[in-house]
Every structure is written in structure tokens, then in C-alpha cells.
Structure 1
């Protein structure tokens, strides 16, 4: 199959491209600079520019582009977060809508769209999006694919939790305090913390691309939701380190501002759509996902 990939320079993009190429698929990367190899095509999502002929023989389009949310959300940076997702998705959707042979279109999204703190409430793809900045971003982000949907393209939004892998920047940051001996739960630790192993994320993306009945939002998280306290215990145990120094909520909100709610808020997310289409997880529990992440 031929995959066209936006956001190929990020951690997930590089991992997905490697995985697809290793399995014999063709990967075309969309880049914002002058192409340096035949497998690259230049585009300008800020200007909405992409030659549809570059996509003519594509089977799957995947958008993983988006600015890092792990930094202070100043008014200016909020716009960067929003536009980096909406412009890329909208540009790809408009180009896909013009094609006679319609590819599948997968766009990255996030579980943060369900709201910044949903407590113990179970969240499936049928749950409504919540309130707050990231919920608004997710509405616009997923809505930007509407031109493709309206043209008959099968569209799926990958609502992804934190992806665990030894090379993942988020996992490296989370595990560093534990490696240094001063890790601990965040806030009360009772908040549900949606995660998934890189192996299962890669397999889930392929599953969504290849399963014709899957469309709309798709949760990519563990089938066994874990709280931050449970995740902390599992990570500390896997690293043979203590987990005795909790980080109070007020410290996180003081240092990180509104982004702290990505760590303190609770999202008990279930991958209902994956499981209902016979997807099985290699690492269905936090212990297994963390163990897989620590293998190098």
C-alpha cells in the first residue's frame, strides 16, 4: 500500500514510517522544505497549498502534524497549537476531496478533547467532547476533515493517549524523576491516565487504515484504564526505584499553568471501537506497556 504521511519528522511519524517501510509499504513524506529525496513532496499547510496529483495513487493519508502542547499556553502559543493541527488537516482534507480514487484519511487527535477532568466517568467514542481549550482544539481539528468526509472519503480521528516507548520524549520526561530516585504520584494520583504502548499504537493505526468499517473517532488507549497512582507504582517497580515523593497539585499548576490539567485531570478512556472490530492488544495493561517501553 502507499501511505502519505504528514508530520513524519516527529517521534510518532518516524516510528510509523519505519514500521510501514519494514513491512514493504511505500511511504511518501510531506515536508515544508525543499525535498531531499524522491519519497518527499513539498507542501505549505499554512497557505493551504498541496498539489492533489501528489496524492493520486495513495491508499492512506495520515496527518500526525501538530505543535508540542507540553509548554506554556500563552495566547500566542495557543494559536500555534490550534493552527498547526487545523491547517494541516484542512489542507489534506481539501486535497483528498478532489481525488477520483479516494484514499483513507487518518488524522491524529487527542483524548484531551473529552475534557480536562472527567473523574470516574467511562469515556468511549460515543462520549461528547468536553469544555476547555484542548476540547475546542479537538473539535476544530477533527472538523477540519469535513471536506474529505463530504466527498466520500473514509475518515478516522485517532484520539491517542500518551504513547509509551523508551525513545518517546513524553516517557523519557515522565521516567526521569524515577530514575533519579525522587519520583511519585501527581496530585492525588486518583486521576485516570490514558496511555498506550508504541507497539500497540502502531498496530492500531494499521488496523484502522485496513478495516473498512472503522471511521469517526477512535480511542487509542489501554483497554484496562489505569490511574496515575497505579501507573506510578508500575513505573517505579519496573525501574526498581522508590515512588515516595508525590508532586502536589499546586506545584504543577504554578509551574505548568493550564497544561497541568493534562496531568491532573482524569480521563477514563476505553478503546471501544478498536475492540469491537477485533483488535487485540499486545500490551493491554500498564505493567506490560511500561515493560515494553523500557526494552531497548
Structure 2
């Protein structure tokens, strides 16, 4: 199959490009600078510019572009978070709508769209989006794909939890306190904390691309939701470190502002669509997902 990737320079983009190329899929990378390889094509999503020739014959378009949310959300940075997702999706959707054979269009999205704190309520793809900055971003982000959908593309939005891998920036930040012996639960620890292994995220992208019955939002999280306390204990066990120093919610909200709710807000997400279409998780538990994330890095993290 021919895949066209936007956001291929990020952690998930690099991993997906490697994974697809390993199975001999054709991978075209959209880049904002001058192309350095034959497989790269320049584009300018801020200006809505993309050469349609790059998309000819594409079976799947994947948009993973977007500014990192794990830093303070100043007014200027909020605008960047929003526009970096919406402009890329809109540019790809407009281009896809002009093709004679509309490709499958897969966009990354966020589990944070369900709201800041959803308590014990189960969140399937049928659940409504909530309130807050990220919920508003997700509405615009997913909505920007409308031109492709209206032109006949099958459009799916991956509402993904925290992807666990030793190279993932988010996981590196979460695991750092444990490496230093300072780890502990975040807030009460009772909040549901959606996670997924990199392996299963990669497999989910392929699954969505290859199953015509999948469209709209698709939750990509462990099949059995876990709390932050359960994740914390599993991470401490995997790293052979204690988990004795909890971080109070007020500290997180003071330091991180609204972003703190991505850590202390509860989101009991269920990957209902994946499960209904026969997807089986390689790493269905926190322990399995963490073992996969750390398998090549354990000696460095644990000197014993």
C-alpha cells in the first residue's frame, strides 16, 4: 500500500514510517523544509499548499502533525497547538477531496477531547466530547477532515492515550522521577489513566487502514482501563524503584496549569471499535505494555 505521512519527523511518525517500510509499504513523507530524499515531498500546511501529484495513488493518508502539548499553554502556545493540528488536517482533507480515488484518511486525535475529568464514566467512541481547551481543539481538529469525508474518503480519528515506549517524550517525563527514586502517584491516583504500547498503537493504525468498517473516532487505549495508582505501581515494579512520593493535584495545577488535567483528570476510555472489529492487543495490561517499552532500556534505568 502507499502511505502518505504528515508529521513523520515526530516520535510516532518516525516509528510508523519504520514499521510500514519494514513490511515493504511505500511511504511518502511530507516535510516543511527542502526534501533530502526521493521519498520526501515539500508542503506548507500554514498556506494550504500541497502538490496533488504527491498524493496520486495513495491508499492511506496519515496526519500525525501537531505541536507538543506537554509545555505551558500560554495564549500564544494555545494558538500554535490548535493551528498546527487544524491547518495540517484541513490541507490534507482539501487535497484528498480533489483526488479521483479518495484515500483512507487517518488523523491523530486526543483522548483529552472527552473532557478534563470524566470520573468513572466509561468513554466509548459514542461518548460526547467535553469542555475545555483540548476538547475544543479536538472538535476543530476532527472537524477539519470534513472535506475529505464529503468527497468519499473513509475518515478515522485516533483518540490515543499516552503511548508507552522508551523513546516517547511523554513516557520519558513520566518515568524520570522513578529513575531518580522519587516516583509516586499523581493526585489521588484514583483517576483512570489511558495508556497503550507503541506496538499496539502501530498495529491499530494498520488495523484502521485495512478495515473498511472503521470510521469516525477510534479510541486507542488498553482494553481494560487502569488507574494512575495502578500504572504507578506497575511502572515502579518494572523499574525496580519505589513509588512513595505522591505529587498533590494542587502542585500539578500550579506548575502545569490546565495541562495538569491530562494527568489528574479521569478518562476511563474503552477501545470499543477496535475490539468490535477483532483487534487483539499484544500488550493488554500495564505490566505488559511497560515491559515492551523498557525491554531495550532496562539495564540503563536499573544499574543492578
- Same fold, judged at TM 0.5 (above): yes
Match of 2:195 in 1: 195
Q: Alignment partner of 1:57: what SS?
A: coil
Distance 2:180 2:76 in 1: 35
Match of 1:33 in 2: 33
Distance 1:102 1:75 in 2: 37
CA drift at 1:53:
1.6
- Cα RMSD, aligned residues only: 0.5
Q: Deviations over 1:7-37 (max 9, x none)?
A: 0000000000000000110100000011111
1:160 aligns with 2:151: no
Match of 1:54 in 2: 54
1:67 aligns with 2:67: yes
Match of 1:89 in 2: 89
Match of 1:44 in 2: 44
Match of 1:23 in 2: 23
Match of 2:150 in 1: 150
Match of 2:209 in 1: 209
Distance 1:161 1:94 in 2: 28
Q: Deviations over 1:96-123 (max 9, x none)?
A: 0000011100000000000010000000
1:12 aligns with 2:9: no
Distance 1:207 1:88 in 2: 23
Distance 2:49 2:167 in 1: 32
TM value normalised by structure 2? 0.97
Match of 1:294 in 2: 294
Runs of 5+ unmatched residues, structure 1: none
Q: Deviations over 1:48-78 (max 9, x none)?
A: 0111121011110000000000011111110
Distance 1:86 1:41 in 2: 20
1:244 aligns with 2:244: yes
Q: Alignment partner of 2:96: what SS?
A: helix
Q: Across the two proteins, how many residue pairs are aligned to each other?
A: 296
Match of 2:128 in 1: 128
Distance 2:238 2:68 in 1: 28
Q: Alignment partner of 1:72: what SS?
A: coil
TM value normalised by structure 1? 0.99
Match of 1:174 in 2: 174
Match of 1:229 in 2: 229
Match of 1:254 in 2: 254
CA drift at 1:179:
1.1
Distance 1:113 1:250 in 2: 22
Q: Alignment partner of 1:134: what SS?
A: helix
Runs of 5+ unmatched residues, structure 2: 297-304
Q: Alignment partner of 1:279: what SS?
A: coil
